[in-house]
Amino acid sequence: MADPVVAQVPCKVNLHLGVHAGRDARGYHRVDSLMVAVALFDTVTVEDAPELSVSFSPALSISVEKSGVWRAAALLAEALGERPLVRVNVTRRIPGSAGLGSSSADAGAALRLLAERWGIDPRDPRVVEVARRIGADVAFFLDPRPGLYVGGGDVLERGLTAPELPLALVMPRAEGGSTPEAYAEFDRSGGEPDDPAPLVAALLAGDVSGIAAGLHNNLAQAACALCPEAGEVEAWLRERPGVLAAQITGSGTCSFAICVSADAADAVVADAAARGWRSWSTKTLGSATEVC
């Protein structure tokens, strides 16, 4: 019987999210997604069990059999010819419906732990293919280091380096639409994205001002149409002292602010909390030690 294994899996923000018109055979839009990991973590534990079992704390609003973690265990076992005699427990701290990748993070961490348990490199093509079947961001969480992803936002084009950036994360009180609803809204009103190349160059140079100037998310307009308060948060953040730039991440509803210092991020978070918004003072993660 193998000992339980544990992973702390971070959330992510999209420094660049560029959605293109049209969809592929899977129904995915072509997406350029430059993601970095952020120090707000879920805990995923895998241990032996008589049959596949998954639990979440706090509990999900859907059945565990519909979760990405359950699908990850079942699909990877099938792909590798293993029996999924495991229990996967997830302690949730990353907020859902935020654009922070909560469910994808949990599924990616489960895949990584199960692959290692079954003697397979988590970057094995079979593992990556299962990750892509579960969701566009899941492959990133197999090895959550900065990277530019293309295809449906699920194919790593280029691994990157990134400086540590103090961040404030702020969520509105109102709930937003789902990711499919955001993409449907984009189909009605979205425009072509910017080129991510200048942001890539700024990251490689460690140019914080260039990174701040290069933020882009052409799905944000759709997120704000579904949750106008998300746009209020984003605009409010841009006006805070010590904020270099702010942007909605993913399909919303969370916005992040790049701050000049951890103290500035703390102050922004305190002000946001006083307005009744959920908020966290944190930072981006760039090194292998930090994110693995």
Residue 207 sits in a domain whose CATH number is 3.30.70.890
**What is the Cα–Cα distance from 42 to 100, expressed in whole angstroms?**
12
Amino acid 28: pLDDT: 83
pLDDT over threshold 70, residue 1: no
- The answer to whether 270 and 148 have CB atoms below 8 angstroms apart is no
Amino acid 290: pLDDT: 55
pLDDT over threshold 90, residue 25: no
Same domain, 174 and 62: no
Same domain, 97 and 154: yes
- The answer to whether 137 and 254 have CB atoms below 8 angstroms apart is no
Last residue of a domain, one of 159, 179, 202: 159
pLDDT over threshold 70, residue 203: yes
Same domain, 91 and 199: no
Amino acid 67: pLDDT: 97
Amino acid 190: pLDDT: 84
Point out the catalytic residue in the list 32, 42, 106, 137: 137
Compute the average pLDDT of residues 263-272: 98
Point out the catalytic residue in the list 12, 32, 106, 143: 12
**What is the Cα–Cα distance from 108 to 143, expressed in whole angstroms?**
8
Same domain, 187 and 130: no
pLDDT over threshold 50, residue 289: no
Amino acid 3: pLDDT: 87
Q: Which tokens in the block code for residue 96?
A: 């859902």
Identify the domain containing residue 171 by its residue range.
166-291
Compute the average pLDDT of residues 3-21: 96
Percentage, residues of the chain above pLDDT 70: 98
pLDDT over threshold 90, residue 23: no
Q: What is the pLDDT of residues 213-261, one digit of tens each?
A: 999 999 999 999 999 999 999 999 999 999 999 999 999 999 999 999 9
Amino acid at the residue 153: G
Cis bond upstream, residue 58 (ω within 30): yes
CA dihedral 208, 214, 291, 251 (to 10 degrees): 140
Same domain, 148 and 204: no
Same domain, 235 and 104: no
Query: What band does 288 get if pLDDT is binned at 50, 70 and 90?
Result: very low
Side-chain-side CA neighbours of 69 within 13 Å: the count stands at 30
12 included as an active-site residue: yes
Q: What is the pLDDT of residues 39-81, one digit of tens each?
A: 999 999 999 999 999 999 999 999 999 999 999 999 999 999 9
Amino acid 43: pLDDT: 98
Same domain, 69 and 204: no
pLDDT over threshold 90, residue 128: yes
Same domain, 152 and 182: no
Number of domains within the chain: 2
Residue 245's CB is within 10 A of a number of other CB atoms, namely: 18
Amino acid 291: pLDDT: 54
pTM of the model: 0.95
Last residue of a domain, one of 132, 159, 186: 159
